């Protein structure tokens, strides 16, 4: 059986939400076991008020907590017994198969780098994110694409971009049950010669790669249309992109609130459209889709959004169990063996 370590202290909503998510997963048939890592007394206090299957839950005490706004580097150095670091250590030691946290993203990337081993053939590890689109994809009809990297790197070289393509494709194949995911490079034009030198070089190599279904360059304008299942980019641009989408969602909500307050006709109009608004919300609320994997290490980490509610964390645990159970890391290693070219 698969066991998932959960950082019980991470996330904006704190220990209550994390422990309740684990409790709900414990009651599901064929779900993974969950190892709760954090302050034992506080975890037990929440469990006392919850329904759960004790056979599926265990606790590992960790006395320190890394806050959401702490400097990742200082936190990792100064708090060796933080739940996030202890969780990563437990996974590395084999006590669990993968780690889930809704905590500090930068600290999560560093915790993996400290306790996990980068897979042979992986030029750079990546933080991936799911991204809402109009089209649905794979056997599971998932309404999102995967974008990577969105935060483990800044600028990268062609080697790293090719590695991201393979890791993203392996993940999409397993999680969305999409046997031949379409992979695209983010650039500022569809033509192969568009973009910075490393993007042009990665295009050439991906085009010639028989193991990938490479569909070429995509532009920002194509992303919400769902023209590809995996979008490859450097971390700086990927992160800016992801946070822009978050900003757009917030702006749309502000405009809707303004419309609701301003005129009775608009209020009635919004009410009549509530089904459509909910569909739109679902399309843009990618937080529910189970979190962002850190790929390229010998163990999997799933970073749930800081604002995750109970359902989102439970989804992240299930996604982690699925990926770990399907041998994702071994598959990435196999795909990348011998891929790296000398610069």
The CA distance from 40 to 63, in Å, is: 8
**Burial readout 319-343 (b: 16 or more C-beta within 10 A, e: otherwise):** bbbbbbebebbebbbebbeebbeee
Stretch that binds a copy of itself, among 2-10, 42-50, 271-279, 302-310 (CB under 8 A): 271-279
Would you call 338 helix, strand, or coil by DSSP? coil
The pair of three-digit structure tokens given for residue 10, joined into one six-digit string: 């991470």
The CA distance from 83 to 64, in Å, is: 6
Q: How many CB atoms lie within 10 A of CB 185?
A: 27
Task: Rule CB under 8 A: choose which of 143, 151, 163, 291 binds a copy of itself.
Answer: 151
Does 278 bind a copy of itself (CB under 8 A)? Our answer is no
The pair of three-digit structure tokens given for residue 340, joined into one six-digit string: 């790296």
Give me the least distance between CB of 192 and a copy of itself, in Å please: 12
Would you call 276 helix, strand, or coil by DSSP? helix
Does 282 bind a copy of itself (CB under 8 A)? Our answer is no
> Which residue bears the tokens 């809402």?
132
| Cβ 2 vs Cβ 324: under 8 Å | yes
Give me the least distance between CB of 70 and a copy of itself, in Å please: 11
| Cβ 205 vs Cβ 157: under 8 Å | no
> Which residue bears the tokens 């645990």?
317
Give me the least distance between CB of 167 and a copy of itself, in Å please: 20
Judged by CB, which is closer to a copy of itself: 207, or 279? 279
Does 215 bind a copy of itself (CB under 8 A)? Our answer is no
Stretch that binds a copy of itself, among 51-59, 74-82, 166-174, 252-260 (CB under 8 A): 252-260
Does 78 bind a copy of itself (CB under 8 A)? Our answer is no
Instruction: Build a one-symbol-per-residue string for 218-247: x at contacts with a copy of itself by CB under 8 A, - elsewhere.
Output: -xxxxxxx-------x-xxx-xxxxxxxxx
Judged by CB, which is closer to a copy of itself: 211, or 268? 268
Contact residues for a copy of itself, defined by CB under 8 A: 71, 134, 151, 154-155, 186-188, 191, 195-197, 219-225, 233, 235-237, 239-248, 250-252, 254-255, 259, 262-263, 265-266, 268-273, 275-276, 279-280, 283
């Amino acid at each position: 059986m698969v066991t998932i370590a959960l950082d019980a202290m991470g996330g904006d909503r704190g220990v209550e939400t994390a422990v309740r998510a684990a409790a709900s997963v414990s009651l599901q048939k064929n779900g993974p076991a969950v190892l709760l890592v954090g302050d034992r007394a506080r975890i037990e206090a929440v469990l006392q008020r919850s329904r759960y299957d004790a056979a599926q839950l265990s606790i590992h005490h960790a006395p320190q907590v890394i806050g959401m706004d702490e400097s990742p580097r200082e936190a990792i150095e100064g708090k060796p017994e933080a739940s996030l670091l202890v969780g990563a250590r437990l996974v590395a030691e084999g006590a669990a198969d993968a780690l889930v946290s809704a905590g500090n993203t930068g600290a999560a990337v560093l915790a993996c780098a400290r306790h996990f081993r980068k897979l042979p053939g992986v030029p750079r590890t990546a933080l991936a994110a799911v991204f809402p689109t109009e089209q649905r994809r794979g056997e599971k009809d998932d309404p999102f694409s995967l974008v990577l990297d969105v935060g483990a790197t800044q600028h990268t070289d062609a080697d790293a971009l090719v590695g991201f393509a393979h890791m993203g494709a392996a993940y999409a194949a397993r999680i969305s049950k999409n046997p031949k995911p379409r992979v695209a490079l983010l650039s500022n034009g569809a033509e192969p010669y568009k973009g910075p030198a490393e993007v042009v070089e990665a295009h050439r190599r991906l085009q010639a790669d028989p193991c990938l279904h490479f569909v070429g360059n995509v532009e920002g304008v194509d992303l919400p249309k769902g023209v590809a299942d995996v979008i490859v980019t450097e971390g700086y641009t990927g992160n800016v992109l992801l946070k822009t989408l978050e900003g757009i969602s917030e702006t749309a909500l502000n405009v809707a609130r303004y419309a609701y307050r301003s005129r009775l006709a608009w209020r009635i109009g919004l009410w009549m459209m509530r089904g459509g608004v909910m569909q739109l919300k679902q399309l843009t609320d990618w937080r529910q889709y189970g979190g962002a994997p850190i790929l390229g290490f010998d163990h999997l980490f799933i970073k749930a959004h800081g604002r995750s509610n109970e359902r989102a964390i439970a989804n992240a645990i299930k996604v982690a169990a699925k990926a770990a159970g399907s041998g994702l890391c071994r598959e990435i290693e196999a795909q990348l063996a011998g891929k790296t070219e000398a610069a």
